[in-house]
Structure 1
């Protein structure tokens, strides 16, 4: 039985996976949605990048989970990629959902020269947090008005230090057994680092015809993609 550990991206909590979890459990697997420190019901908790890595590792170890598929959406690909190498033989696969990926010594901000400076400025202006976007920013991502409202209503400010503190990797990220799910409505191109990892041949690339929040816009399709990824040798 596969144990899926589901980690949402910036501004979101475990609630973002509410429509994915039943699909995975109905298929006979475990599903463990995570709320990272400082977000959703954990708002106000202090958190840095390694706090979020520890959050994920703790879910695996305290639950004594085996055959783990770690799933990281958007920002969460950074702590998930680090947690993957720390859980050792418990790991079966990593699935990056339209996500950033960690680079040793780099942060979310420093690894993104195109928009990282804007994020850093926004964090400073907001007093140390990254404020959630408004409804207009979710247009064109395959979301209904009701789904956009759900995200906007549930979103909370994201702890800024988790975005500015560096990732720590002990070995090359390409050593991980991984699937990258690319959401096409969020743009056809891959991050250069992701493209390089896919080209190495160990990472599987899967495309989803939806936007950046597939757990909201296409939860059943996403669940099927996660189940397929778990079966990948």
Structure 2
């Protein structure tokens, strides 16, 4: 009689990008749960519209929240895979630097690791408390809206929460080189992976750290910058495949 058991799929923690809460992952989270994963979708400090002090949130507080979510997800001993979308790459990088052994893999969705000393927007004036979701014509100049239906844009506008200013301008402080040993996957959406690699080789500030990762897979999922809405089933499949690798 075969008494071997199949290991449970890794637990997955989903971190949304700027202006978003846990709700942004609803379709992807449901798909991942149907594949057997335990899933936690996190609303970072500063992105809860009911928090009266949310504009005071810092990058450090967000990193602490990521670490707490990872710790809770792995409490039963299951490996944890952390998924960071877009601007969530900064607090996630800080969290991984503080505890490199906490996760089995990091998955960046149209994102990547932050470099030591970098800030998402160092030019943001100190007197700017928060940054609201810009008009879509201007946002589309900064990040691809490809694949988003009108109802996606309407929900985005209705539910978006202004991003706290301190989170955007605060530089990362990274000291533990072991963060580069964590197995990583980048799901490249709004630019082809070959373009991403070229930018990384040329030292582009947003991608320079990619070249320092010691175990990296890159998956192309061609769509816009918000694949959790434009291609949720395909994104869930890519995340699950990376998690089980």
Which residue of the partner structure matches residue 228 of structure 2? 215
* Alignment partner of 1:30 out of 14, 34, 38: 38
In 1, Cα distance between the equivalents of 2:182 and 2:234?
A: 24
- CA distance in 1 between counterparts of 2:148 and 2:94 reads 30
Following superposition, the deviation at residue 129 of structure 1 comes to 0.6
Q: Does 1:134 align with 2:135?
A: yes
Gapped regions of structure 1 (runs ≥ 5): 111-116
Cα deviation, 1:53-93, whole Å, max 9, x if unaligned, reads 00111112244263111111010011112222434443110
1:17 aligns with 2:25: yes
Q: Give the aligned partner of residue 183 of structure 2.
A: 177
1:67-216 to structure 2, matched below 5 A, reads 67-110=79-122, 117=123, 120=124, 124=127, 127-136=128-137, 137-138=139-140, 140-172=145-177, 173-184=179-190, 189-190=195-196, 192=200, 194=207, 197-198=210-211, 202-216=215-229
Q: What is the distance in 1 between the residues matched to 2:81 and 2:229?
A: 20
Q: Does 1:60 find its partner at 2:65? A: no
User: Runs (4+) of structure 1 moved beyond 4 Å?
Assistant: 185-188, 198-201
TM-score, normalised with respect to structure 1: 0.84
Counterpart among 33, 39, 48 of residue 40 in structure 1: 48
Q: Which secondary structure state, in structure 2, belongs to the residue aligned with residue 229 of structure 1?
A: helix
Q: Tell me, in whole angstroms, the C-alpha distance in 1 between the residues paired with 2:160 and 2:66.
A: 20
CA contact (8 A) 2:115 2:209 kept: no
Quickly say closer, same or farther: Cα 1:24–1:188, change in 2 above 3 A. same
Decide whether the 8 Å contact of 1:11 with 1:40 is kept in 2. no
Distance in 2, Cα, partners of 1:129 & 1:205: 33
Question: How far did 1:152 drift?
Answer: 1.1
Larger radius of gyration: 2
TM-score normalised by structure 2 residue count? 0.81
Q: How far apart, in 2, do the equivalents of 1:30 and 1:203 lie?
A: 24
Structure 1 residue matching 2:240: 3-state secondary structure: helix
| Higher alpha-carbon deviation: 149-158 or 59-68 | 59-68
Map of 1:113 onto structure 2: none
Q: Which residue of 2 aligns with 1:228?
A: 241
Residue-by-residue CA offset, 1:14-37 (whole Å, 9 max, x unaligned)? 000010111111111111000011
Q: Matches of 1:131 and 1:38 in 2, distance apart? A: 12
Where in structure 2 are there 5+ consecutive unaligned residues?
Answer: 1-8
Residues 200 and 8 of structure 1, relative CA distance in 2, 3 Å threshold = closer
